[in-house]
Amino acid sequence: MRSSTGRRMMTAPVLVAVLTLAGTTDASAWTTAYGHVGAADRTLRGGCHDYPYRYVVKPPSGDWILETWLRDPRGKPRGSGDFTSGSDPARGRGRFGICRSTVVPGRFMIKARLSWYTAGMLPTDPPVEHQRWFKPAHFRLHR
């Protein structure tokens, strides 16, 4: 009796740890199945200018939101954007405003998250939100 209780007590923390690790891995994974973002390498011009990027979304429903974030070579946030199914096409362009005096030349990163909504199980249920992170896109701004 004593040994089976000990085994059960030992199994519970291990099971919790495995489930926790499995949950975190899936949540942080990125995909290209639902779309992508990208930008071409460019010259970092003096002053403040808009630098374009492109996006493509392939959501399973017609109700979606795409959020984008720009990080500079030092990892600092430098801008964000959002696109919605109600006002933006599923394939389009965005722009980040970048000032040469506030950044260093180098490799910039665009992160993007697509959220879409499906109907709940019952007509009175709220919509169900689904999210996927895109593969981060990188581009360089040279002097």
- The confidence score (pLDDT) of residue 31 equals 77
Instruction: Give the architecture-level CATH label for domain 31-142.
Output: Sandwich (2.60)
Buried b (16+ CB within 10 A) or exposed e, 91-100: eeebebebee
User: What are the structural domain ranges in the chain?
Assistant: 31-142
Residues near 40 by beta carbon (within 8 Å), at least 6 away in sequence: 139
- The confidence score (pLDDT) of residue 2 equals 54
The ranges of the chain with pLDDT < 70 are 1-29
User: How many CB atoms lie under 10 A from the CB of residue 116?
Assistant: 21
- The confidence score (pLDDT) of residue 32 equals 83
Give the pTM: 0.76
- The confidence score (pLDDT) of residue 29 equals 61
